[in-house]
């Protein structure tokens, strides 16, 4: 009942706030992908596109678009509580696990927006839970059932985001490093791997047929890590800087006040006899953490593992003094409520800016206050951008306008123009980033090009003799991430757009 009640609370919290602001940058891209359903995309597996496709009958309403992340957030709480219960946790451990998991900052963010990471907390937690059930299975038939659950969970997680491979590698090494390696001495190890491969075969085939573009995306992502407009950087191209930022972000994404709990979850299997057979879980954490740092990963790439660590830690601290347990739950709840506006949109945007000012996050020294939360910032300005581009488009002479292509240098801008553009009479957009590149030039000759954004403008100047800045689309709420979007008019190409197109391609975030 504790898990069900807290899962319902999580679902209600996310459902009540999911439609507060607007469409997030990546969601606009996912909507575009949903209109080109495939077994794979350049930069992601297909689950997010399917989630967007399911919301099409109601016009991609925000609550419908984010329905699966809301459900995933609730189920993550439920599975985490079940994990705590099944490893010996009583009512307090279950309650602490549920509250701590519900209030994990990263989980609050991910349950309120559709991204490839939105399903990671659920898939990672369920994978750890299934592995524990395999280790502790009372019979071969029970163990076989949980191998099946684990196999399906891995495939589900990979269809959301390939990073679940980090966890599976960590769990495998953790099991091999402990006496629990005996779980591999069954034909279900092979059967389970076969099920995963069979389920993922269509996506693997798609990636192979397109030259494994995800590899180039990851390289491009690692090379392109700009700071925010206020100078703050969370990701770095140099190894040492990124490693330090990665470690610090674990405390931020997993809740600083909850750190004693998940740290206890790392230590407990090595100190408490009742949890000794679960030592493979903290080993999996260290392996996953180390590999992620070595690969230069972003800080949120391993957030999925913290619900499991919180469950183990809650069991470990259940025997603490009553006053300490009460203080821990109270501190988590109070801190979670106080910081919640930073994580889910419980406040109207202007009130949120005022909240940031009171925290000293913006508007200091007489400077204008801004939206400093980057996810929120990227939910504004898209319709304005489409309207401003339409102003340029309709200002062209009719004969020229008829053959003019609208080119966006990023998938976010292209997705916005495709979603909002028809309201202003814009044709479908083209873009050379990620999967938009594969969708091509849509038959445009490229004699006239309206280009939005600055990341490819130097490249365009190589292929167009005339490139003029016509106007700039400005959205104050978007300041922290990108700032104004320049709109250029490109004329007199050196070659047809079909020949220029391969030179404009770029894969990455």
Task: Give the residues across from 430 on adjacent strands.
Answer: 407
Residues 180 and 285 in one domain: yes
What is the rounded CA–CA span in Å between residue 210 and residue 201?
14
Is position 361 within any domain?
no
Is position 441 within any domain?
yes
Alpha-carbon separation of residue 125 from 181, 306, 454 (angstroms): 20, 8, 40
Residues 300 and 387 in one domain: no
> What pLDDT does 239 receive?
75
Residues 321 and 392 in one domain: no
Quick count: other Cβ atoms within 10 Å of Cβ 208? 10
Is position 347 within any domain?
no
Residues 110 and 209 in one domain: yes
Is position 253 within any domain?
yes
Environment class of residue 155 by beta-carbon count within 10 Å: exposed (0-12), middle (13-18) or buried (19+)? buried
Residues 205 and 319 in one domain: yes
Give me the chain's average pLDDT, please.
Answer: 93
pTM of the model: 0.93
Rg of the chain over CA atoms, in angstroms?
Answer: 24
DSSP annotation of 226 reads P
Residue numbers of the domain that contains 411 = 382-504
Residues 265 and 395 in one domain: no
For 250, the enclosing helix (H) or strand (E) is helix 239-253
Residues 121 and 50 in one domain: yes
DSSP annotation of 237 reads S
Work out the average pLDDT over 68-95.
97
Choose the final residue of a domain: 277, 303, 325. 325
Is position 447 within any domain?
yes
Name which of 39-43, 239-243, 258-262, 503-507 the model is least confident about. Answer: 239-243
What's the structural domain count of the chain?
2
Query: Who wins on pLDDT, 95 or 298?
Result: 95
> What pLDDT does 238 receive?
67
> What pLDDT does 231 receive?
45
Q: Kindly tell me if the per-residue pLDDT of 229 is higher than 60.
A: no
Is position 193 within any domain?
yes
Residues 96 and 184 in one domain: yes
Residues 317 and 388 in one domain: no
Name which of 104-108, 362-366, 418-422, 450-454 the model is least confident about. Answer: 362-366
Is position 367 within any domain?
no
Residues 404 and 276 in one domain: no
Q: Kindly tell me if the per-residue pLDDT of 309 is higher than 80.
A: yes
What is the per-residue burial (b if ≥16 Cβ within 10 Å, else e) of 56-74?
A: eeeebebebbbbbbbbbbb
Sheet holding 464-473, edge to edge: 430-431, 405-408, 448-452, 485-493, 464-473
Is position 391 within any domain?
yes
What is the rounded CA–CA span in Å between residue 74 and residue 102?
8
Structure confidence by residue, pLDDT tens digits, 134-183: 999 989 999 999 999 999 999 999 999 999 999 999 999 999 999 999 99
Residues 44 and 191 in one domain: yes
């Amino acid at each position: 009942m504790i898990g069900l009640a807290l899962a319902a609370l999580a679902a209600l919290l996310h459902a009540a706030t999911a439609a507060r602001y607007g469409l997030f940058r990546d969601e606009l891209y996912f909507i575009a992908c949903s209109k080109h359903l495939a077994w794979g995309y350049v930069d992601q597996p297909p689950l997010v596109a399917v989630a967007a496709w399911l919301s099409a009958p109601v016009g991609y309403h925000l609550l419908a678009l984010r329905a699966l992340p809301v459900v995933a957030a609730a189920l993550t709480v439920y599975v985490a509580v079940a994990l705590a219960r099944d490893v010996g946790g009583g009512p307090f451990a279950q309650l602490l696990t549920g509250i701590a998991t519900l209030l994990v900052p990263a989980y609050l963010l991910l349950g309120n927006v559709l991204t490839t990471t939105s399903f990671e907390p659920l898939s990672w937690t369920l994978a750890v839970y299934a592995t524990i059930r395999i280790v502790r299975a009372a019979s071969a038939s029970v163990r076989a059932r949980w191998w099946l659950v684990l196999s399906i969970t891995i495939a589900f997680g990979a269809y959301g985001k390939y990073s679940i491979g980090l966890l599976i590698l960590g769990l495998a090494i953790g099991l091999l490093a402990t006496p629990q390696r005996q779980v591999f001495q069954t034909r279900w190890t092979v059967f389970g791997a076969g099920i995963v491969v069979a389920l993922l075969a269509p996506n693997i085939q798609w990636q192979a047929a397109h030259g494994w573009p995800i590899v180039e995306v990851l390289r491009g992502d690692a090379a392109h890590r700009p700071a925010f407009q206020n100078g703050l950087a969370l990701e770095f191209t140099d190894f040492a800087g990124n490693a330090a930022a990665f470690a610090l972000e674990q405390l931020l994404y997993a809740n600083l006040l909850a750190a004693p709990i998940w740290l206890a979850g790392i230590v407990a299997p090595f100190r408490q006899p009742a949890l000794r057979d679960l030592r493979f879980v903290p080993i999996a954490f260290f392996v996953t953490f180390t590999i992620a740092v070595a690969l230069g990963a972003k800080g949120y790439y391993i957030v999925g593992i913290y619900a499991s660590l919180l469950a183990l830690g809650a069991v470990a601290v259940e025997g603490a003094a009553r006053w300490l347990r009460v203080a821990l739950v109270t501190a988590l709840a109070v801190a979670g409520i106080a910081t919640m506006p930073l994580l889910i949109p419980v406040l109207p945007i202007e009130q949120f800016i005022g909240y940031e000012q009171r925290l000293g996050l913006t508007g200091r020294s007489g400077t204008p206050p801004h939206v400093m939360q980057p996810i929120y910032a990227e939910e504004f300005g898209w319709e304005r951008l489409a309207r401003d581009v339409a102003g340029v488009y309709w200002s062209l002479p009719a004969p020229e306008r008829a053959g003019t292509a609208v080119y966006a240098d990023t998938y976010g801008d292209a997705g916005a123009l495709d979603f909002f553009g028809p309201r202003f009479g814009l044709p479908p957009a083209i873009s050379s980033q990620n999967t938009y590149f594969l969708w091509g030039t849509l038959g445009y000759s490229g004699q006239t090009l309206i280009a939005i954004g600055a990341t490819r403008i130097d490249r365009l100047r190589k292929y167009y003799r005339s490139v003029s800045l016509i106007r700039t689309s400005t959205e104050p709420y978007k300041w922290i991430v990108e700032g104004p979007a320049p709109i250029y008019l490109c004329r007199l190409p050196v070659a047809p757009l079909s020949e220029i197109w391969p030179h404009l391609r770029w894969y990455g975030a």
